[in-house]
Amino acid sequence: MKIPSRLLPLVDDGIIDEVLGQVKSGKEADVFTVRIGEDIRCAKVYKEANNRSFRQAVQYQEGRKAQSSRDARAMAKRSQYGKKEAESSWMNAEVKALNVLSAAGLRVPQPFGLFDGVLIMELIVDADGHPAPRLNDLSLTPDEALQYHEDLIAQVVRMLCAGIIHGDLSEFNVLVDTYGPVIIDLPQAVNAAGNSNASVLFARDVNNLAHYFSRFEPGILTLKYAKEIWALYEKGKLTPEVNLTGVFEESTKKVDVVSVLTVIGDAQKEHEARLLRKAKPVDTGLPQKPWQGGGQNNVASEHPRHKSDTRSNQKPQLSEKPQANKENWGRRASSGAPKISQWTKPIAEK
């Protein structure tokens, strides 16, 4: 096949020996099968930011650490350098997530390197050695649906224990090989502890799986895994080996609105008092200077540096200067000062 332009530099540099074909074209990347030596790998070519569906990436990137404060400021200002760093951060996030999750025991592709916006990683294959199908491409029996659903919920739990939320988990981001589901596509992976949208994104991931598998086994919709798992996570009781029931009892306790408003009011008063303390001048016990006793007008009028110089306000009398010059020339002439002709006469004689 014709080598895609984004893969051509990698072929020229000897990183890729041959491009075998295209696996898929997704909303954020195009995926190709490539040969590197004797191994068949997967090359994920990320699309430019303007061509991706994840344009509102701020909610996913919250909580991610920039390499330096300069990079963080540049990305916040969306300068040219900042946009470049944001793109690099978006791609590197998947590599970091894959390494973390692989170490945590999840079934994810193994990454081999990121080269100029192209991620080389393990190719997930089926029993015949062909690229593994997506979960969405399969027709499942009720038992298979229950089995795959339980498998993925266990992986989601293990992922959360590692501090990561997928953020876009669905039947389109799961491959199925001979051993079961494999989670893919993680550039938008969310920091579970540092992102204010973490609980919402987590619930969406779990509910997406439930809605898909309920096509084959409707009873899956009755399971409340999202709320049960998140409640355990907030209490610090979530472990990879946790036994889930799918049952979650909603709290029936009414919110004490009056107490909440009282706490907010007390916090507001404390904040205002803190501002007043900062604005009040500190009494050092030392005598004040004349310009320290009043407002801005006193400072401007009494401080030695701000006192106006009366001499600077007097306009020069132009008529006095020529007169003074005339008198000075007269003094020079009467005191025997040499005239101009006396200086030039010897030169004229020569």
DSSP 164-233: EE-SS-SGGGEEEETTEEEE---TT-EETTT-TTHHHHHHHHHHHHHHHHTTT-GGGGG--HHHHHHHHH
Instruction: Give 176's strand partners.
Output: 181
Band (185; pLDDT cuts 50, 70, 90): very high
Q: What is the pLDDT of residue 289?
A: 59
Q: Tokens at residue 156, please?
A: 């989601």
Does the pLDDT at position 181 exceed 90? Answer: yes
- The bridge status of strand 111-115 relative to strand 118-122 is antiparallel
Instruction: Give 316's strand partners.
Output: none
Q: What is the pLDDT of residue 343?
A: 47
Does the pLDDT at position 84 exceed 90? Answer: no
Does the pLDDT at position 283 exceed 90? Answer: no
Write down the mean pLDDT value for the chain. 80
Band (275; pLDDT cuts 50, 70, 90): confident
Place of tokens 């996570």: 233
Torsion of the alpha carbons at 312, 317, 321 and 323, rounded to the nearest 10: -150
Average pLDDT, integer, range 95-110: 94
Does the pLDDT at position 348 exceed 50? Answer: no
Question: Which carries the bigger pLDDT value, residue 133 or residue 27?
Answer: 133
Does the pLDDT at position 211 exceed 90? Answer: yes
29-33, 59-63, 95-99, 111-115: which range is least confident on average? Answer: 59-63
Does the pLDDT at position 320 exceed 70? Answer: no
Average pLDDT, integer, range 52-68: 55
**Please, which residues have CB within 8 angstroms of residue 203's CB and are 6 or more apart in sequence?**
226, 227, 230
Helices (H), 26-141: 58-61, 69-77, 80-103
Element (H, E) at 22: strand 18-25
Average pLDDT, integer, range 89-99: 86
Band (290; pLDDT cuts 50, 70, 90): low
Average pLDDT, integer, range 325-334: 53
pTM confidence score:
0.67
Does the pLDDT at position 244 exceed 90? Answer: yes
Q: What is the pLDDT of residue 306?
A: 53
Does the pLDDT at position 292 exceed 70? Answer: no
326: how many CB neighbours lie within 10 A of its CB?
Answer: 10
Does the pLDDT at position 4 exceed 50? Answer: yes
